[in-house]
Every structure is written in structure tokens, then in C-alpha cells.
A and B are shown apart, each in its own frame.
Chain A
Amino acid sequence: MSCESNDLKDYYFGEAEPGARQRVESHLETCGACRDELSRLQLTHAALGALRDEEIPRRIAFVSDKVFSPRWYQRLWHSGPQLGFLSASMLACAILVHAFAGPRPVAPPASIVTAAVVDQAAIEREVGKRIDLAVTRAVAHSEQRQQKKTVELLQAADRKYELDRQSTLQAVTASADYMKRALNRDYALNNFGSGQ
């Protein structure tokens, strides 16, 4: 530790850090100059202590006066519970008023009304346009579906007609064959029977 350091004065006033205090105490054991310096500090301090505090000439006291007393809002501001209660009350009142009075429509300025009308008309046009488009699409889709169904019905009818026709043809063919065989048999019976 250096003899020039202010650590000695810090130590003397009791404001040295614990480490510095130990260093100063170790240094004082070996350094006579610093011990002398410490003694001079003590003597100077003792001399300064000879100048005692004086008594105050007049006692100071204030009287309770509204001028000096804090205002109601100052007291309120510095009282947490009171401020909290007031805030809660105001919030409750605001909720009640809102519940009973309800929101009132506010007439907007003329320029805003015009803008709103313009916007409304544009919106209506756009909506009409989209509706028309949607209807057109729906009709087309429906017509397409109907046409497809008609084709399917026609094809089914054709198939049924063809089946019926073939069935009838087969029946006629079978009848014709049967009659042919019957005629041939009758013919054969008649010819061979008369020839005996």
C-alpha cells in the first residue's frame, strides 16, 4: 500500500472496504509516517470537535392552516387504498352508464356521409354483378346436368327398345320355327298316311 493513498483517510472515517481496511492496518504496523499521519488526523478531528453545535435561537413549529395542508386530491393521490377504491368506483359507474344509456349513433360529417353513400353504391353494384355471375353459372350447370340426364335417359330407352325388339324377334323366330316344324310334321303325316 502506498503512503500517499487516500485509503488511510477512508480507514480513519470508517468507510474503507474490508480488504482495504486490512491492508491499511497491516501497513500501519510497519510504517511510522502513516502512523504519524493518522495521529495528526485524530488531533485535527479532535480540534474540529471543539466547535460545538449551537442551540437554535427559536424553536420552529407550524400551525394547522389550510394554506399549508395538502389538497384533497394530493391526499387521495398519495393514498393507495383510497385511489384504488376511487378507480373501482369510477369503473363501476362507467359500466352502469354504458349499460343503461347504450351507445348512441353519432351523425357523421357530410363529407363522410357522401363517401359512405358512394361506397355503398359501389358495393351494391359489385354484389349484383357477383350474384348475376353466380346465377349464370348455376343455370349453365343445371342445364348441362339436365342435358346429360336426358341423353342418359334416351340411351337407356334405346337400349331397352333394342332389348325388347330382340326379345320379340327371338319370340317370333321361335314361333315361326315351331309352326314350321308343326307344318312339316303335319305334312309328313298326311303324305305318308295316304300313301299306305
Chain B
Amino acid sequence: MIFREVEDRDLIEQARRGKVEAYNLLISRWEKRVFNYVLRLVNHREDAMDLTQDVFLKAYQHLPKLEDVSRFAPWLYRIAHNEAYSLMRKNRPESELEFEPRSSEPGARMFPIELSLAVDGALNRLTSDQREAVVLKVYQGFKFEEMAEILSCPVSTVKSRLYTALDLLKDALAPVAQ
């Protein structure tokens, strides 16, 4: 993990000096994670793909402003969060957000379809703030402090959102999570 972090730092420094190849290597390390994070926020593959590209373009343009290179991940996810919410606000007001059933999307699943649909449905019944807290903690593995940085809110708020969401998910998934 530490070795990986050092490598990222080197790539960031080289990218700052204008080496696009180094930045492309950095993208290859993070693109899948960022794509899945954005996908679980907007729930649309094409939008998620476009957003991921925008995130990395914006990150490249603002890379010189990154003060602490070791905080690259929260910084990158903060950009992704802003881009995703910007699109969500532009498409539909928050109260009218209705997510497409992902079962209709192409792509093979490597798990039982019933459980997948149940989890998908349960996540989509959460508010966007609660869902994002679950995605950042459960799927992206961030610490509370990093989540607070990404979401630009106190750690206590992050915990509140996450624990409320977990209680709701626990009830929603009880029939299938046996």
C-alpha cells in the first residue's frame, strides 16, 4: 500500500511537469474505481463514463493546485462528487430522482441476480447522501476522515448518514441476506 502510494506521488509529480504518459498511467490505476463510484451515484453507464472522463480532465487541469500529494484520492473523489452532483442537479431536481433499474443494462454479473437486484433496489431507495456514504465506505473503503473531506462535511455527519443508511439496508436486505 505504501509502495503504491509512493508510485502515485511520482506519477503526480511527473504529470505536473506536463508528462501526459505519467498521467495516463495514473488514470489506469484509478479509472475503474472512479467510474464505479460515479456509476453508483448517477446509475447510468454512459453518464458515468462521460463523468469519469471529465473528472480526470479536470483533475489534470487542477493538478498544480493539489497541495498535499498524499491526499490525491480524496481530492480526486471530491472532483468526482462535484461533477456527479452537478449532472444530477442539471438533469433532475433531487426530489424527483428516480433511478433506472440496472438489471436492464448490458453486462454480465458474477453473482446471483436476485441478490444483485435486491441490493441495487435497496441502495436506490436511499437518499443520494446516504447512498454516497455507503458507496464511499463499503465499496471504496475510505476512512471517515477522508469521506468528510470528499463530502465537505463533518465526520459526525458522515457517520450519521452511513449508520442511518446501514439500518435501512439491514431491514431491506434482511430477507435475502441470510
Comparing A67-75, A108-116, A126-134, A161-169, the segment that makes contact with chain B is: A67-75
Comparing B3-11, B21-29, B79-87, B89-97, the segment that makes contact with chain A is: B21-29
| Chain A binding surface, main DSSP class | loop
Give the number of A-B contacts (CB < 8 Å). Answer: 110
- Chain A residues lying within 8 Å of B57, measured Cβ to Cβ, are 62, 68
Comparing A38-46, A99-107, A180-188, the segment that makes contact with chain B is: A38-46
B-side interface residues, number (CB < 8 Å)? 52
> Do B20 and A44 have beta carbons less than 8 Å apart?
no
> Do B177 and A46 have beta carbons less than 8 Å apart?
yes
A-side interface residues, number (CB < 8 Å)? 38
- Chain A residues lying within 8 Å of B27, measured Cβ to Cβ, are 60-62
* B41 sits at the interface (CB 8 A): no
- CA separation between A23 and B34, bound complex, in Å? 37
* B176 sits at the interface (CB 8 A): yes
> Shortest beta-carbon distance, B43 to chain A, in Å?
12
Interface hub of A46, A48, A61 (most chain B Cβ within 10 A): A48
Contact mask A71-112 → B, CB, 8 Å, 1/0? 000110111000000000000000000000000000000000
Chain B residues numbered 1-58 whose CB sits less than 8 Å from any CB in chain A: 16-18, 20-21, 23-24, 27-28, 31-33, 35-36, 39, 45, 49, 52-53, 56-57
Q: What are 12 A-B interface contacts by the 8 Å CB criterion?
A: A15-B143, A40-B174, A41-B166, A44-B173, A45-B138, A48-B139, A51-B111, A51-B119, A52-B111, A56-B32, A75-B17, A77-B64
